[in-house]
Amino acid sequence: MPAYRRILLKLSGEALMGDDAYGINRATIARMVAEVHAVTKLGCEVAVVIGGGNIFRGVAGGSVGMDRATADYMGMLATVMNSLALADAMRQDGLTARVMSAIAIDQVVEPYVRPKALQYLEEGKVVVFAAGTGNPFFTTDTAAALRGAEIGAEVVLKATKVDGVYTADPAKDPSATRYSTISFDEAIARNLQVMDATAFALCRDQKLPIRVFSILKTGALMRVVQGEDEGTLVHV
């Protein structure tokens, strides 16, 4: 049995790029889907929020000087593109996925409706939440915290390129050590950048723990779901 029955997996768009400059690396997304598929076989219910940086990076130069709200809406559309690609990769791997968008694009994806999302999770489907919160000025980190709280997730899993939260930047300081666990208050006191401030505060207020781990490590998601010491657990 998994240690967590229901999780919210937060993926950055950059995680899909692999070694590419932008866009989606097919081998990378297939590997991630295989890891998600493996944990669903344990009986774990999985919801996903994905960023759009990998898509938006390709047009970032043209967004210089653009109105912030307009740029944020473009970013939301990028997350829809990523969500469709992820759901299609899941379909090809034998998983059933449903994409639910916070902005209305009815011809392409379903609108986000909380009871419907809960129904899908209970049926064993993977739910991919697209378009962030549907509002500019809020990141997909905040969307992950919000959707995680709404669906009753037991933990938000933030999949990054670093295998946890460290005392310092491990790329710059070889002596930096990884926290196995750390409290929200201590993370704030030490000014550790776990998530953006709004998302972090929401998780703290809702007593929703965050597990930061590396999506680049094979089998890391499985180890997290099984309750092993993988990454860093941020808790109340």
Annotated binding-site residues for ATP read: 10-13, 53, 57, 160, 166, 169
**Tokens describing residue 233:** 């657990």
Task: Give 3-state DSSP helix, strand, coil % of the chain, rounded to 5.
Answer: 40, 20, 40
Q: Is 74 left (phi over 0), alpha (psi -120 to 50) or beta?
A: alpha
Residue ranges of the binding site for UMP: 52, 72, 133-140
Residue ranges of the binding site: 10-13, 52-53, 57, 72, 133-140, 160, 166, 169
Query: What's the full length of the chain, in residues?
Result: 236
CA distances from 195 to 12, 156, 202, 204 (A): 12, 11, 11, 11
101 burial class (0-12, 13-18, 19+ CB within 10 angstroms)?
buried
